[in-house]
Structure 1
Amino acid sequence: MPKQNITIKDIIKSFKYWPRLLSLLWGVSKSNLIIIIVLTLINGLTPTLSLLASQHLINEVQIHMNKYFAAVLTAFIVFIIISLVTDFFGGIVVYFQTVYQKVLIYKLNVTLMEKANSLSLSDFENSEIYDKLSRAKNQVSYRPYQILNSILTVMSSIVTLVSSMLVVLAWKPWIIIVLIIFPVISSIYTLKVGQLEFMIQWKRAPKERRAWYLSYLLTNDQSFKEIKLYGIGNHILKKYKDLNKEFYDQDKYVAKKRTGMIFFSNFMEQVSGDITLFFIIWSAFMGKILMGSTVGLIRAVSLVQSNVKTFISTFFDMYENNLFIEQLFEFLDVPASKLDMITDGGITVENIETVEFKNIYFKYPSQTTETLKNINLKINAGENIALVGKNGSGKTTLIKLLCGLYEITSGDILINGISIKDINIIKLREKIATVFQDFLRYEMTVRDNIGLGNLELINEDDKLKKVALDAGIYDAIERMPKKFDTQLGMWFKEGTQFSGGQWQKIALARAFIRKAELIILDEPSSALDPLSEREMFDKFLQLTDRKIGLFITHRFINAKYATRIVVLDKGEIVEEGTHEELMKIGGQYKSLYDVQYNIYENQKVDIS
C-alpha cells in the first residue's frame, strides 16, 4: 500500500520506472517521438520570440512616429512571420501527438492482453493480482500518454521560462526571486492533494470492479432472465447506487481540496504579479523604459509566472502519474505461468499414449487445506474414464491440472512417462479438447464459435458441417439466415440467441473439431435432453476410440459408458472400477447410484 506522508525522497523514488517507461514510449514510434520533441522545443521558444517581436514593433512605432515608417513596417512583418510560424508549428505538433497517442494506447492494450494471456488460472483467481490488472487496465488508456505529455510540457516550459527570464533579468534581476518563491510555496499543498487523490483511487479499485460487475448483471442478456424473474433488479441497482454514492462523496471531497489549492495558488500568483507589475508601471511612468518594453516586460513576467506554475504543477502531476504507472509495471511484473514458459526448450509430445497422475497434491493459494490429496491414476489410450463424486470432491480441479491451468503443489503428471513440467504445454494443449461446465459463449458468428477450436479449419465448411452434425447442432444452423456466418448472442447487431442446450452443442462441436488425442468433458450433457444426451455420448465414444476420453458427470447412467469409473471424495480417490464392479463393492458409488436410481424410478424414467 502507498505511503500516506510524502517526502522529497519518495518523489525521486517514484521515478524509478521511468527508464522502462521511456523505453516503452521510444519503442512505440521513434520517428514520431523525435518530431514531437523537436516541435515541442520550437513551440517553447515561440512565446518569447512573439514577445520580443511585439515589444520591438511598439518601440519602433514610438521611436519613429511620423518619421520613418520603413522601420515600423519591417518590425511589423517580423511580428506577422513569427505569429504564423507559431500557429503552424502548434498545429503540426497536435497532429503528431494525436497519431502517437492512438498508437501508444493500442500497443499498451496489446501488452496488457499479452501479459494476461501469459498468466495461470490461479492468477486470475487471486484478487490481489486481479486488482492490479484492473488498475492497470483502467489507467492504461491515458496515464502513460499523460506522463509523455507532462515531459513535453516541462521541456516546453523550461525553454519558455529561461528565455522569458532573460528578458526580465536584463531589466531587474531581483524580480525573478519574487516571481518564483510564491509558486514554490503553493506547490507543497498541490503535492498533498495529488497524493490524497491517488490514495482514494488506489483503495477503491476492488469496489470499482464490484460496481462494474453490478452494472454488467443488469446489462447482460445471460443474467437478465434470473434477475427479472426473481425481481432483484432494484436490489442490484441500489447496491450500484450505494457504491457510486461513495465514489461521488470521495470525488467531491477531493474536488473541494483541489479548489482550495487552486484558490491559494492563484492568490499567491496574483500577489507576486501585482508587486512586479507596480515596478514596471512605475518605471514606465518615470520614463525609464519605452512603451514597447513596458508591454514586453509585462508579458515576460506573465510568461515567467505561468511557466513556473506549469513546471511545478506538471512535476507533481508526474509524481501522481508515476504512482499509477507503478501499478501498470507491477502487473506486468507478475510472473508468467511456469508451465506456459516451457515452450522453446520443452519436449513436444507427438502422440498421447498414457496419462498418469502420480502422488498429486494440490491446494489453492487462498485455502489452508488440500483440494486434491495423493491422487494416483493411470489412463491408457483407448480408455474412457468417468470421474464421479459429490460436489467439491476435486473432479474439475483434477482436469484443470491436466490442462496445465494450475501448477501442481506436489507430485507430478506424466504424459507418456514425461513430466508435464518438462513438456511444451502450448503444444500439449493443441492435442487436448475440453468442454468445461462453464463453457464460453462467444458473441461471434457460428463459424467463429466452432472454428476457434481449430483455426486451420475455420473456413472449411465441410469440416464445420461434420462436427456440427456430430454435436447434433447442424439442423439448427441450417435454419439460420446466414448459416455458419450467423451472429450468435444478443450483444451485437443481427444476433440470434440459442437455448442453453444449443449453446452446449456448439461448445461440443468446438471440442470435436480439434485434432485432439485427449478429450475432456465436464458435465457435457447438463443442458441436453435425454435423446441428445444419448447421441452425444455415442459420438464421444466414437471420437475417443484409440484415444483417451475423460468426463465428469453427476448422471450415473452416463458413467456406465466408461471403461473405468473413478470415484472422488474430499479430494481423494476412494473407489475405482467398472459399473458392475463398483456396484458389487457396495461403497459410495453404489450409494449415490441407488439414490439417483430411486429418483428416476419414482419419476418413471428409464435409465437403463
Structure 2
Amino acid sequence: MSSATKRLRRATATRIGPLRHLPALFRLAWSTSRALTLLSVGLRLARAAVPALMLYVAKLVVDTVVAGRADPAGAAGAGAWFTAPLQRHVELLIGIEFALALASDLLGRATTLVDGVLAERTGNAITLRLMAHAATLDLAQFEDPAVQDGLERARRQVAWRANPMGQLLGQLQDGLTALSLAVAVVAFLPWLVVLLVLALIPAFLNELHFNRQGYRLAYRRSPERREGDYMRQLGAGAETAKEIKLFGLSGYLSARFGILADRALQENTRLALRRAVAGGLFASLGTLAYYLAYLVIALRTATGTLTLGDLTFLTGAFLRLRGLVEGLLLGLSQLSGQAQYLDDLFTFLALAPRVRAPAEPAPFPTPIRDGFVFEAVGYRYPGAERWAVRDLSLTIRAGEVVALVGENGSGKTTIVKLLARLYDPTEGRILLDGRDLRDYDPDVLRTRIGVIFQDFVRFDLTAGENIAVGRIEAQDDAPRIEDAAGRALADTVVERLPAGYGQRLGRRFEDGVDLSGGEWQKLAIARAYMREAEVLILDEPTAALDARAEAEVFARLRALALGRTALLISHRFSSVRRADRIVVLGDGRVREAGTHEELVRNGGRYAELFELQAAAYR
C-alpha cells in the first residue's frame, strides 16, 4: 500500500471514524422510547415522498393546461374551457397538490414535535448515564486535569445531546427524497445528476476540513475554557463575594477572563472567516451546475424534445435536488463534526475506573475483629514527583480511637482516602482483618465507613437532606435525622431556621438561608452520626467550632466511637489528647506513636508541637 493511500485512509478514518458512535446514540434513543423513535422514522419516511409527488402533480397540471389551450374546444373561449372534461382533471390535480401541501406541513410539524420530545428524553437519559458513570470513576481520575477536560467536553455535549440523532434521521429523510427526485431526473437526463454531484463534492470536502479544524480548536481550548468558566464563577459567585470585594479582585478577574475570551474570539473568528470564504467559492460551483442544467432543459423544451410540464418538473426537481444533495453532503460533514464531540462523550463513558471490585469480593467482616494494617504502603499522586506517603506501616485496631497529627503535607488526608479506598496504594498493601482491602467490594466498604472531610460539601438542599446524605436511603426517617442532629449539636442550629428541617440552605436559590462555618460543620458531623458506620473517620471535624462547642462535640464523639473504630485528624492537641493512641506523621511516614502522656514524656516532635500550642494559651 502506497504512503499516499495510507494517508488518505488515516484522514478518512479521522473524519468519518467518530460516526461509529451514531448507532450507539440510536440505540440509546430506542431504549428511551421505542414508540417515539418509530414514529419519528415513520413521519420522515412519509415526508420524504411528498416533494417528488408534488412536483410530478405540478407537471401534470401544466401539461393538462397546455393541452387544453391547444384543444379547439378550449381555444373557443373561457366558457368552453370551464365545461370541458379537462377542467375537472385540473381541479382534481390541484386538489391533490393542495392535499400534499397540507400533508407536508402537518407531517413537518408532527416531526418537529416528536423529535423535540425524543431529543429531550434522550438528552435526559444521556445526562443520567453521564452522572451514573461519573460516580463509578476514581477520585484520582477526577483529580487528573486530562480527565477533567474530557468531562468538561462530555458535559457540553449534553447541551445539544440529541441533535445528531435528529440530524441523522433528517439525513435519512432527505436522502430518500433526493433518491426519488434523482430517479425522476435520470429518466429524462441522467447526466444532470452526475454533473450536480461532481459540482458539490468540493464543497463537501471543504466542510469536512473545517469541521475538523473547529473540533481541533475546541479540543485544544478545553483547559482555557475551563479556566474562563472558573474566572466567571469566581467573579460572580456568592461563595467568593466577600474576598473579591475585600481584596478588590473584580478588575483582575475580569481582565483575566477578558484575555481568555478575546483569544478564543480571535481564533474562532479567523476560522469562521476562512470557512466562509472557501465555502462561498465552492458553493458557486453548485450554482453554476444548476444554471447549466437549467439552460439545457430550456433549450430542449424550446426544440420540442421536452414539454412545458417536463420543463416545470425538471427545473423544480433539479433545483430541489441540488439543495438536497448539497444539504446531504454538508449535513454529513456537519454530522461527522458533531460526532467528533459525540466521540468525547462516549470516550468519557468508556473510561474505566482503576479502583474496582474483585470478581468474587470477600464478605465484609461484621463486626470488624482485628482492624486495619498498613504494610509498607506508598502512594504518589499521578504526575507528582513527591510521594504523599512512603513505606508507611501503621495499625488501627478494632474499637480503637486513633488520632493522626502532623504538619500540612505529612500524609494525613491521603491515609484517610486510602483507608476508604478512594485510592489504591502505589506500593504495599492495606489489610482489613488480615485480608487485602482490594479483596472487598469498595462500595460495600464505603457503606461501612463514615468520613467527614474538612472541606465537606455544603449542599444547597434542605437542612434535613444535608444530614440525611450520611445515609441517603434513610432520608424519610425523620426520627433518625433528628437524633443525628441532636448528637452533633446541630439541633439548635435547625431550631433557628424558619422552616426547620425543611429549610433550604445556601445562597444558590431564592428561598435559601446561609449558615456560619461552625453551623455548617455541625450539620456535617451529624452526617457521621446519621451513617451509624462501623468505622468513623473525621478529618478536622471541629476546625470551625469555638472551644466550648469543640469540647462538647468531642465528648459526644467519644460516646459515638464506643464499640467502633475511629480515626481522628486534627491540628488541635486539646482534642487529640483524648484518643486511645496518637500517631505522629512526617514526610509520609510514622515518626512517633503512643498516648498523649507517653509522647509528651518522650520529648519528640509531638511534645514540641504540643508545647507550641500550649504556650499560646499561657
**Interval containing the TM-score (normalised by the shorter chain):** over 0.9
Identify the match of residue 235 of structure 1 among 252, 261, 281: 252
- Distance in structure 2 (CA, Å) of the matches to 1:16 and 1:103: 22
Match of 2:427 in 1: 410
- Contact 2:18 2:342 (8 Å CA) reproduced: no
Secondary structure at the aligned position of 2:422 is classed as coil
Determine if the alignment matches structure 1 residue 594 to structure 2 residue 611.
yes
Return closer, same or farther for 1:507/1:418 CA change in 2, 3 Å cut-off.
same
Letter in 2 for 1:146: N
- Contact kept in structure 2, 1:190 and 1:261, CA below 8 Å: no
Is the CA contact (8 Å cut-off) linking 1:118 and 1:336 kept in structure 2? yes
* Alignment of 1:127 onto 2:145: yes
Kept after mapping to 2: 8 A contact 1:211/1:244:
yes
Q: Residue 560 in 1 paired to residue 565 in 2?
A: no
Aligned partners of 2:281, 2:170: CA distance in 1, in Å? 23
Tell me, what secondary structure is at the counterpart of 1:64? helix
2:500 is aligned with 1:496: no
Q: Work out the CA distance in 1 between the residues paired with 2:11 and 2:448.
A: 56
Distance 2:203 2:516 in 1: 63
Aligned to 1:439: 456
CA deviation vs aligned residue, 1:164-222 (integer Å, no higher than 9, x gap): 12222222222222222111122222222111111101101111111111111122222
Distance 1:586 1:451 in 2: 44
Measured against aligned partners, the alpha-carbon deviations of 1:37-93 in whole angstroms (never above 9, x if no partner) come to: 222122111111111111111221221242431211221222122222222222222
Instruction: Please name the residue that 1:604 is paired with.
Output: none
Q: CA deviation at 1:262?
A: 3.2
Cα deviation for residue 5 of structure 1 reads 11
Answer yes or no: is the 8 Å Cα contact 1:64–1:72 preserved in 2: no
Match of 2:290 in 1: 273
- The equivalent of 1:606 in structure 2 is none
CA separation of 1:32 and 1:344: change in aligned 2, threshold 3 A: farther
CA distance in 2, matches of 1:282, 1:4: 42
Confirm or deny that 1:181 pairs with 2:198.
Answer: yes
- Higher mean alpha-carbon deviation, 464-473 vs 23-32, is at 23-32
Separation in structure 2 between the aligned mates of residue 238 and residue 5 of structure 1, nearest angstrom: 45
Aligned counterpart, 1:535: 552
CA pair 343-514 structure 1, distance change in 2 beyond 3 A: farther
TM-score normalised per structure 2 = 0.93
1:58 equivalent in structure 2: 62
State the 1:478 CA deviation: 1.0
Q: CA offset at residue 346 of structure 1?
A: 4.2
Paired residue for 2:188?
171
Where in structure 2 are the equivalents of 1:1-150 lying within 5 Å? 7-65=11-69, 66=81, 67=84, 68-143=86-161, 145-150=162-167
* Residue equivalent to 1:467: 484
Deviations 1:502-558 (A, max 9, x none): 000110011111111111111111110000010111011110012111111111111
Q: In angstroms, what is the RMSD of aligned CA positions?
A: 1.9
Residue 142 to residue 434, structure 1, CA distance change in 2 (3 Å): same
Q: Which amino acid aligns with 2:121?
A: V
Residue 226 of structure 1: how far off its partner (Å): 1.2
Residues 393, 31 of structure 1: CA spacing in aligned structure 2 closer, same or farther, 3 A cutoff?
A: same
Name the counterpart of 1:327.
Answer: 344
Per-residue CA deviations over 1:230-249 (Å, capped at 9, x if unaligned) read 11111111111111111111
Rounded Cα–Cα distance in structure 2 between residues aligned with 1:11 and 1:259 = 20
Counterpart amino acid of residue 95 in structure 1: L
Is the Cα contact below 8 Å between 2:15 and 2:208 reproduced in 1?
no
Equivalent runs, 1:473-552 vs 2, <5 Å: 473-552=490-569
* AA partner of residue 145 (structure 2): S
Between the two proteins, what is the percent identity of the paired residues? 28
Deviation at 1:4, TM superposition (A): 13
Aligned residue identity for 1:356: V
Secondary structure of the corresponding residue to residue 451 of structure 2: strand
Aligned-pair CA distance for 1:392: 0.2
- Distance in 1 (alpha carbons) for counterparts of 2:359 and 2:12: 45
Contact 2:368 2:398 in 1 (8 A): yes
Q: Does the 8 A contact of 1:60 with 1:75 survive in 2? A: no
**Partner Cα separation in structure 1 for residue 337 and residue 346 of structure 2:** 15
Worse-matched range after superposition: 432-441 or 162-171 = 162-171
Distance 1:519 1:183, change over 3 A: same
Are the aligned partners of 1:473 and 1:502 in contact in 2 as well (CA < 8 Å)?
yes
What is the match of residue 215 of structure 1? 232
Q: What is the CA distance between 1:106 and its match in structure 2?
A: 0.5
Paired letter, 2:212: Q
Deviation, 1:6, is 6.8
Bigger mean CA deviation after superposition, 533-542 or 255-264: 255-264
**Greater shift in the superposed pair: 561-570 or 517-526:** 517-526
Bigger drift between 9-18 and 374-383 goes to 9-18
Partner Cα distance (1:8, 1:564) in 2: 65
Contact 2:368 2:433 in 1 (8 A): yes
Code of the aligned partner of 2:15: I
Count matched residues. 597
Structure 1 residue matching 2:533: 3-state secondary structure: coil
Q: Contact 1:563/1:578 (CA < 8 Å) preserved in 2? A: yes
In 2: Cα distance, 1:365 partner to 1:312 partner: 44
Q: Which residue of 2 aligns with 1:351?
A: 367
| Secondary structure of 1:140's aligned partner | helix
What secondary structure sits across from 2:294 in the alignment?
helix
1:7 is aligned with what amino acid?
A: A
- Kindly provide the CA deviation profile for residues 406-455 of structure 1, in whole angstroms up to 9, marking residues without a partner as x: 11112222222222111122222122111101011000100100111123
Within-5 A mapping of 1:280-291: 280-291=297-308
Residue 363, structure 1, aligned to residue 380, structure 2: yes
Separation in 1, partners of 2:354, 2:135: 9
Aligned to 2:368, the other structure's residue is in SS state: coil
Higher mean C-alpha deviation, range 250-259 or range 105-114: 250-259
**Deviation readout 1:240-260 (Å, 9 max, x if unpaired):** 111111111122112212221
Deviations 1:9-49 (A, max 9, x none): 43343434344344334322223222222221221111111
**Structure 1 residue 474, shift from structure 2 partner:** 1.4
Where structure 2 has 5 or more consecutive residues not aligned to the other structure, the ranges are 1-6, 70-80
Closer/same/farther in 2, CA of residues 35 and 568 from structure 1, 3 Å limit: same
Q: Which residue of 2 aligns with 1:577?
A: 594
Asked if 1:391 is matched to 2:395, the reply is: no
Separation in structure 2 between the aligned mates of residue 25 and residue 485 of structure 1, nearest angstrom: 37
SS in 2 for 1:328: helix
Amino acid at match of 2:254: L
Whole-Å Cα distance in 1 between the matches of residues 137 and 415 of structure 2? 19
* CA offsets 1:102-146 (integer angstroms, 9 cap, x no match): 111001111111111001110001111111111111113325x23
Residues 246 and 473 (structure 1 numbering): CA distance in 2 closer, same or farther, change over 3 Å? same
CA contact (8 A) 2:29 2:118 kept: no
Letter in 2 for 1:99: V
Contact 1:349 / 1:423 at 8 angstroms: preserved in 2? no
Question: Does the CA contact (< 8 Å) of 2:405 and 2:570 recur in 1?
Answer: yes
Q: Which moved more, 1:212-221 or 1:486-495?
A: 212-221
Deviation at residue 487 of structure 1 after TM alignment: 0.8
